[in-house]
A and B are shown apart, each in its own frame.
Chain A
Amino acid sequence: MKAARFAALVACFTSVPWPSTLALAQQPAPPRITRFEVSNATARLEFSLFPGAQAYTLLSATNPAGPFAPDTGFFLASYPITNFFTNVVNNTNVIFTNRATLWEWRRTNVAGAAGFVRLEATPLASNALLAATVLNRLTYGPTPDELARIALIGPDAYIAEQLAPWNITEDVALTHSNIPAIEAKFRAADQIVYGTNAQIADLRAWHVLRAVGARRQLLEILLQFFENHFVTEYTKSRSFFAARYDDNPLENALATQLEYLENARWRTALLNPACTFYDLLEISAESPAMIIYLDTVSSRGDGTRVANENYARELLELFTMGVDNGYDQNDVTILSRCWTGWTVELFDPTNAFNPFASKTTNRVANLNTNFPPDDYRNLIGVWARRYRSDWHNTSTKVLFTNKFVPARFGPPWTTRTYGTNTVPGLYQLVVPGRTGTNGIREGYEVLRHLADLPFTQEYISIKLCRLFVHDDFPNPNNDPTQTNEYNFYNYAAGNLSPEAELVKACMLTWETNSPRGQIWKVLETIFKSDLFRSYGASQQKVKTPLEFVVSAIRALRTSTNGSNLAGSFTAWTDGYAVATPLQRMGEMLLFDRESPDGYPEAGPPWISAGTLAERVRWAQSFCIPAGQPGHAGSQAGTGNDAQNSACDPVGLLRAKLPASAWTNATEVADFFLGLLFPGVGPGNLQFARQAAVDFLNDGSADTSTTYRNTPFAGLPVSQGASAPYNERVRGLVAMLLALPQFQEQ
C-alpha cells in the first residue's frame, strides 16, 4: 500500500484579523480540514466552512514548518452518489443511481516526498457581512437595487434611514394598482362598514404588497411583528358577527375592519419618533378585535359572576411581562376583574369614540319584519368599544401584593420606585374599586403600570432581539434554585453572555430615555450592538413563510425602466396569491392566528419535511412561467401553487448584466448566487456555483429538442415560455430558492 505522502494540518487560520470590537465568544470556529486522502497519486480533500468566507486558499509545503505557498493544483471535482428508497407496497428497494453530486477538492499527479497542506480563509469585508444582515432583518430581504444602494451608502446610513421612516417618502401605492383599490375599500373608525368594504383577502393582499414594495421596510417589519405580538383572530371576530347577522360579506367586512383599524393605529403610532411600547399596548387593549378575541366582550364581574380570565392571563404572559415573569395565578384572577365591562357594541357613528354610549337605535331603511326592530339585522351603525359600568366588578383590586423586583435585575430597576409605591423595588398596584364610568380607568392604570415594569422591558426586549438577531434568547426565570436559567439574565451578577448583555442594553435604553419605552431607540440599540453586526446575527434565522415568499419575490425584483411603477417589475405578485401558500407552509394565516402566542419567531416550528416541501413547490411554481403546467392549477389536482405571483429572471438578467454575460454560465450563476445569498460569501458558494453551472449546461429537461445537447453558451437568449434559455435559467433560480440556505436569513 502506498503511504500517504500528504498529511493534513488540522489547525487552520484565517488570514485577516478580527474586527477589534468583536467579542471572543462571537467568533465562529475556524475552518477545518475534515478529510484528506491520497491514493493513486490523487489527493482528495474536504474542509468545514467558515461563515461569510470571501475566499479559501490552499497552501502546501514539504515541511510542516513551512514555508507554505499557495497551491493552485487543487480544483473542485464532483463525484456522483446513489441512494435508494423502499417500495412500501412490495417491501423492496429501488436504487436511484447518480441521484446527487458531491464535491471535493482534488489534486492529481501527487508525487514526491511527504507534503503538508494548510487552509486559509479570507472573511467577507465587515461592511459586506453587515449589509446582508441589515437587508435580511430590517427589510423583507435584499432586492438587486437595494443591494447596490447599501453598497453605495454603507450599512450604517441604511440603518439610519430605516430608523426614521417619517423621513422616507413612501410611494408603494404606485407599485401595484391593488394597493389604491384596496385602500379605497377601507373605512375609518366612524364610518359605517358594508359587505362591499374590504374583506380579509383584501387586507392580506394589501399587507403583502406593502411588504414587497414599501420603502419604509422596517416599519412594515415592525407592523407585522406587533400585529403578531398583540395577536387577534379574524375568525373569532367573524364568529362574533355571524351570531348577529346573516350576511357573509358583511360579517367578513366587519371582522376585517377590526383588524385593519388596529393596524392603522399602530402605523400612526410608529410614525411618531417617540412612539413608546405603552402607545402600542393601549391600541391593542382598546381594539374591539382584542376585546372579542380574548373574551373580555362577555366577561362580567358584577354580583357573584366570575370574570373571564382569558385576556388578563395573556396580557401578563404574552403581551407584557412574559410567562411567570413577576406575576402569579392570583394576579391573573384579580386582574381579570379590572377588565370587566369592556365590551363592544353597535353605536351611532358619532359615538365611535365614546365608550360610554349605548347601542344605536338607527334603523336600516328596509326593516325585516321577521326580526325585532332592535335586532342587529335591523340596525345600522359602527361597531366600537363599549364600557358597561353595570358589568364591572367594583371591588378594590390589589395586584402584585408585596412583590419586589427580583435581585437579578439590579439597579436601576431594584432601586427605583414603581407607581405610587414609596418603597424602592416594590411594584404592588392598588386599583381602587370604582363605580360608574370611572371604572374604565382601571384598565388604563394597569396598562401604564405594566408597560413600566422591568419584566415588560425585559420580555419585549427579548422578543425584539429574537426578531432582529437570532432565536436563542431564552425566557427569563426568577427562581434562583434553577441556577442556569436564573443566572442567564442575572444582570446584577454580571458576567453576562452577549445575548443577555444586549437585552440589558435594550432595557437601559427603555429605562433611561424620556418618555420610557421608546421603540425606535431600543431598535437603534440592537442595530448598534456587536451581536447584531457580527456573525452572531448573520444568516442565523429561519425565514417565516411570509418572509420566505416575500424575500423570494424581492430578490428577483427590479423595475426594468427604473420607474418603480406597476408593470415594470421582473418579479411581482397581486398580493392575493400569497395567502394560500402561507397556509400550506405551516398554517400562517395573516390576521387570523388562533392561538394567542402569535406565529413563532423561532425557526424549528416552521421546519419540517412537509412544510419545506411546500416551500420548494412554491419556488418551483413561482419560477414556471404563468400559463405553463405547474404555475397555476394546470397540474392535475396538485397545482395552483404560485397563481398570480410570478417572475421573469431572464428579464432581470437583461436589465442587470451586460449582453456579453448573458450566455456565460459562470457569470449567470454568480449573478443569482450573489443576489440570493449575499451574506454567505463567495468562498462558500463555489460548490453551489459548480452545481449551478452544470445545471445551466444540462439540456436534458428542455421542452424543445433542438438544443438538448447544447451547453448554455450556445443557447439563443429568449424570454419565450418554452425557450431552452428561459427554461434553464428559471429552473436554476427555482432550485436556488429551494436550497436550505435560502430558508435562512
Chain B
Amino acid sequence: MHRFNLYTRRAFLDQSFKLTLGVALSTLVNIPFVMKRALAEGNIGLPGPDGKVKKLLFIFLRGANDALNSVIPIEDPAYALSTTRPTTGIGIAKDTENAINYADTGPCLDLTQWTLNPNTRLLQPRTATDPTYSYDRAIDLGTGFAALHPSLKFLAPVYNAGDLVFVHRVGYPNQSRSHFDSQNYWESGAPNNNLVRDGIFYRTILESGLANKSPLTAVSVQSALPLILRGSAAAMTNLADPARYDLLGVPNTTAGNLKADQFFATGNLLPTPDRKNRELLALQFQNLSDTLQIFSQIPFSAEFYDNENTDQDAPYNLFPTSAAQNGGAPFHGGDSAKYVVDNSTSAYTFFKNLKAAALILNKTDAIIAGTEFGGFDTHSSQGGVTGAHANLLRRLAWAIYALRKYFLTQADRCTWDNLVIVTLSEFGRTTVQNSSGGTDHAEGGLMLIAGGGVRGYGKNGSTTGVFGCSPSEFSGANADLNWVPGPRTTNPATCGTMWAANVNVTQGYLKRQTDYRSVLGEIIRKHLGATQSQLNRIIPGYNPSGDKPEPELLSGGLSSVDGTKIRGEVGFLI
C-alpha cells in the first residue's frame, strides 16, 4: 500500500504513531525494545550477560572549569611562582603534612577519614564534629606530581577504590576560546565545523537503532535540551523540572485531563506544512506525549542516603536539594560547617536534576542521561581554597561520590559496574591569574571519568588514575607527551607545559595532550558498545579508513590540523 511512501519526517511520525498498536502487541509479551532494532550493528543498548544495558551519565561544566585548580600540578614549580597564581590569590599550597601513612587509605589522602589539627598542623583521625571542609592544602593524589583541590575531598574514596580517573590537558586542534563555539564543538563532536548541527550522543543513539522505537533513549535534566542530544531525525528527551512534568485539563478534573490529553495527542498529529523548526517541534511534542506516563511513575522526590556513615558522621543525603538535606545538617541542627555543598539555589537545582538523571537511568530503558551546571567562567574573584570556584568543585566531587553510592546501593536497571560518568567543559583557563583575581579563557581542560568499569588506581594493575599530569608518564619516543615543569620560555622545546599551547602568550595556555573526542570515543566504543565503523560515523574522522591516514584520535600521533602530538585513546576502561 501507499502508506509507506513517505517523504517528510512529519509523515513518518504520523506513521510510527499509527503503528504503535502493532508494536504494543510485541511488547505485551515483554520483548524489550532492543529486540526491535532494525538492522543495527554493535551493542549500544543491548543487555550484557548480566541482563543489564551499559549506560552513560554526563555532566557538562558550563563556563570552562579551571583545570589547573582542579587537578593541580602541585610539583610543577611554576605553579607556585609569585607571578602565576600567588597563594594569596587563587593558588593552592602543597600538602606538607607528614603524619599520615598513605598505606592506610590508599594513594589519595582521604579527608573523610583524616582531618588537620589547626594547632599542630598535623593530620589526625577525623571525628563526627569536624567541619566538612577544613583542609587548606592541595590533597596529594599519590602520584608525586598531581594533587586535588581541597574542595574535591569526596573524590578521594572513589579514586582510592579505582573507580575514578582524571584525564588532564584535553582539548582539540585550533582551540576556540569562545564559550559558545567551543561548547558547540564539544557537543557536536566536530571541532571548528559549524555545519554539524547535531550532537555526539544523539548520533550515538541513532547508531543504536533504538531512536524512534523506544520512547526514552537519552535524557537531559536541565533548562533546555542541549546540542549534545539534539538532532532532526529523532527526539531525545529533556526534563525541565521533573516535579512538574504533567499537564492540566480545563477544567482541571480527571475528565478534563482526559479530554485535554485526547485533543493534545490529536493536535500533535494534525497535518501542517513544513517549516524550519517543524520537525523538531513535532518530534518534541510527540516525545512529550509519549513520555508523560513514564516519568509520572518515577519517584523523583524520594530521598536517598549514604549506606555508611559519611565523614565519620551520620549518613548524608546523597542528593542535597535543600539546606535541611545538605551534608550533616539534619543531624547537627543545620550547622553550615557541615554542609557538603554550598547553600545555594543553584547547588540544590543541580542535585535535583542529577538525582532525576540517576533515577531515569536506573528505572527506565534510557541509555544516556545527563545534566549541567554553570558558573565556571571565573574571570574575577575565583577564590582559592574557598570561594566561587571551590564551591563549584564541592558540588562536582559530591556528585561523583553520591552517584557511586546511589548506584552501588540502589541498582535496578543500572548498576555501578554498568555505568560510566563523564564530565565535559569547553576549555581550561589561563595559567596566570588576572588583575581581578580570576582567570581568562585558555586551552587544555580536564575530564573526570568514573564508574565501576573504569580502570582507576589499583585496577588491572593500574598504578594511577591520573592521566596527562605527570613529567614521567611516557618514555622513549613518546616522552614529548609528558608534562614539562617550569615557567614559560619562547622555545617550544623547553617551555613549561602550562604555557606551551602558545609560547608567546604570557598569561599561559595549558598544552593539550589528549583530544576530548578520544575520551568520548573510548567510552562510546568500549563501554556503550559501538563498533569502530559506528564510532567513525558518530565522531567524524575518528579513524576513517580503519587504520590510516588520520589515526591520531584512536592511537595518537601528530594532529594533522595543528601539528600537536597527542596520545590517542587513553585506555581508562577495564
Interface residues of A (CB under 8 A from B): 8, 28-29, 32, 34-37, 46, 48-53, 81-89, 91-95, 98-103, 294-295, 298-301, 304-310, 313, 317, 323-324, 329, 332-333, 340, 470-472, 474-475, 477, 484-485, 539-542, 584-587, 594-597, 603-614, 616-617, 620-621, 623-624, 628-630, 635, 637-638, 641, 680, 684, 687-688, 691, 695, 698, 700-703, 722, 727, 730-731, 734-736, 738-741, 743-744
Contact status of A638 and B244, CB under 8 A, knowing A37-B1, A485-B194: yes
* Contact for B180 among A35, A597, A703, CB less than 8 A: A597
**Min CB distance, A154 to chain B, in Å?**
25
* Contact for A617 among B248, B380, B505, CB less than 8 A: B248
Q: Which of B117-125, B437-445, B527-535 contacts A (4 or more CB under 8 A)?
A: B437-445
Q: Which of B321-329, B428-436, B517-525 contacts A (4 or more CB under 8 A)?
A: B428-436
* Contact for A470 among B7, B244, B276, CB less than 8 A: B276
Task: A84-B27, A323-B181, A324-B176 are known; give 19 further A-B pairs, CB within 8 A.
Answer: A35-B5, A46-B271, A51-B275, A85-B290, A86-B294, A89-B297, A301-B435, A309-B379, A603-B276, A605-B225, A607-B225, A609-B291, A613-B246, A623-B250, A641-B248, A687-B271, A691-B263, A701-B255, A703-B253
Query: A642's closest neighbor in chain B, by CB?
Result: B248
Query: A84's closest neighbor in chain B, by CB?
Result: B24
The dominant DSSP class at the B interface is: loop
- By a CB distance below 8 angstroms, the chain B residues around A584 are 240-241, 244
CB-based contact B241/A609 at 8 Å = no
- By a CB distance below 8 angstroms, the chain B residues around A301 are 435
**Min CB distance, A472 to chain B, in Å?**
6
Cα of A340 to Cα of B435 in the assembled complex, Å: 10
CB-based contact A691/B290 at 8 Å = no
Contact status of A628 and B252, CB under 8 A, knowing A307-B435, A614-B244: yes
CB-based contact A586/B363 at 8 Å = no
- By a CB distance below 8 angstroms, the chain B residues around A53 are 273
B224 within 8 A of A: yes
* Contact for A701 among B8, B195, B256, B432, CB less than 8 A: B256
- By a CB distance below 8 angstroms, the chain B residues around A477 are 194
Cα of A329 to Cα of B504 in the assembled complex, Å: 11
- By a CB distance below 8 angstroms, the chain A residues around B375 are 594
Taking CB atoms and an 8 Å cut-off, the chain B residues in 157-183 that contact chain A are 176-181
Contact status of A734 and B266, CB under 8 A, knowing A306-B432, A309-B434: no
Q: Which of B66-74, B230-238, B539-547 contacts A (4 or more CB under 8 A)?
A: B230-238
* Contact for B380 among A308, A603, A687, A736, CB less than 8 A: A308
CB-based contact B259/A295 at 8 Å = no
Cα of A329 to Cα of B447 in the assembled complex, Å: 25
CB-based contact A35/B244 at 8 Å = no
Contact status of A635 and B270, CB under 8 A, knowing A85-B290, A86-B294, A542-B281: no
* Contact for B266 among A87, A691, A727, CB less than 8 A: A691
Please list the 10 inter-chain residue pairs (A to B) with the smallest Cβ-Cβ separation, ordered nearest first: A630-B252, A608-B238, A610-B240, A100-B265, A608-B225, A587-B223, A603-B277, A85-B293, A731-B250, A609-B288
Contact status of A607 and B223, CB under 8 A, knowing A103-B271, A624-B250, A703-B251: no
Cα of A581 to Cα of B262 in the assembled complex, Å: 24
Query: A539's closest neighbor in chain B, by CB?
Result: B275
**Min CB distance, B385 to chain A, in Å?**
19
- By a CB distance below 8 angstroms, the chain B residues around A700 are 255, 258-259
Cα of A474 to Cα of B196 in the assembled complex, Å: 12
Contact status of A83 and B294, CB under 8 A, knowing A474-B194, A612-B284: no
Cα of A39 to Cα of B277 in the assembled complex, Å: 36
Cα of A206 to Cα of B249 in the assembled complex, Å: 30
**Min CB distance, B459 to chain A, in Å?**
32
**Min CB distance, A355 to chain B, in Å?**
19
CB-based contact A306/B270 at 8 Å = no
CB-based contact B240/A684 at 8 Å = no
CB-based contact A101/B251 at 8 Å = no
B245 within 8 A of A: yes
B374 within 8 A of A: yes
Bitwise interface map of B from 407 to 450 toward A, beta carbon under 8 Å scored 1, else 0: 00000000000000000000000001111111011000000000
**Min CB distance, A481 to chain B, in Å?**
11
B143 within 8 A of A: no
B35 within 8 A of A: no
CB-based contact B294/A85 at 8 Å = yes
CB-based contact A684/B272 at 8 Å = yes
CB-based contact B240/A35 at 8 Å = no
Contact status of A100 and B8, CB under 8 A, knowing A542-B277, A542-B281: no
**Min CB distance, A485 to chain B, in Å?**
6
CB-based contact A101/B17 at 8 Å = no
**Min CB distance, A6 to chain B, in Å?**
11
- By a CB distance below 8 angstroms, the chain A residues around B230 are 604
B269 within 8 A of A: yes
Cα of A50 to Cα of B441 in the assembled complex, Å: 48
B461 within 8 A of A: no
The tally of residues in B whose CB lies under 8 Å from a CB in A reads: 111
B307 within 8 A of A: no
CB-based contact B3/A35 at 8 Å = yes
CB-based contact B277/A308 at 8 Å = no
- By a CB distance below 8 angstroms, the chain A residues around B245 are 610, 613
* Contact for A740 among B21, B244, B278, B293, CB less than 8 A: B278
Interface residues of B (CB under 8 A from A): 1-3, 5-8, 11, 14, 17-18, 20-21, 23-24, 27-28, 30, 62-63, 83, 176-181, 194-195, 215, 220, 223-225, 230, 235, 237-241, 243-253, 255-256, 258-278, 280-282, 284-285, 287-288, 290-294, 297-298, 363-365, 374-375, 377, 379-381, 432-438, 440-441, 502, 505-507
* Contact for B195 among A99, A485, A630, CB less than 8 A: A485
Q: Mind listing 30 A-B residue pairs with CB under 8 Å?
A: A29-B274, A32-B7, A53-B273, A85-B293, A88-B294, A88-B363, A92-B30, A93-B28, A95-B21, A102-B18, A295-B379, A584-B240, A594-B375, A596-B179, A603-B276, A604-B280, A605-B225, A609-B238, A609-B239, A609-B288, A610-B239, A611-B223, A613-B246, A635-B252, A684-B272, A700-B259, A730-B250, A731-B260, A738-B264, A740-B285
- By a CB distance below 8 angstroms, the chain B residues around A542 are 277, 281
**Min CB distance, A229 to chain B, in Å?**
14
**Min CB distance, B361 to chain A, in Å?**
12
CB-based contact B285/A612 at 8 Å = yes
Cα of A738 to Cα of B28 in the assembled complex, Å: 32
CB-based contact A740/B281 at 8 Å = yes
CB-based contact A313/B11 at 8 Å = no
Cα of A540 to Cα of B240 in the assembled complex, Å: 25
- By a CB distance below 8 angstroms, the chain B residues around A99 are 261-262, 265
CB-based contact B30/A91 at 8 Å = yes
**Min CB distance, A478 to chain B, in Å?**
12
**Min CB distance, A342 to chain B, in Å?**
13
**Min CB distance, A73 to chain B, in Å?**
20
Query: A53's closest neighbor in chain B, by CB?
Result: B273
- By a CB distance below 8 angstroms, the chain B residues around A8 are 2
- By a CB distance below 8 angstroms, the chain A residues around B20 are 81-84
- By a CB distance below 8 angstroms, the chain A residues around B263 are 691, 695, 735
CB-based contact B21/A87 at 8 Å = no
- By a CB distance below 8 angstroms, the chain A residues around B220 are 608
* Contact for B267 among A323, A702, A738, CB less than 8 A: A738
Query: A583's closest neighbor in chain B, by CB?
Result: B223
Query: A471's closest neighbor in chain B, by CB?
Result: B276
Query: B192's closest neighbor in chain A, by CB?
Result: A482
**Min CB distance, A336 to chain B, in Å?**
8
- By a CB distance below 8 angstroms, the chain B residues around A94 are 293
Cα of A291 to Cα of B393 in the assembled complex, Å: 27
**Min CB distance, B407 to chain A, in Å?**
17
- By a CB distance below 8 angstroms, the chain A residues around B292 are 85, 613
CB-based contact B269/A102 at 8 Å = yes
CB-based contact A635/B248 at 8 Å = yes
- By a CB distance below 8 angstroms, the chain A residues around B238 are 608-611
Query: B32's closest neighbor in chain A, by CB?
Result: A91
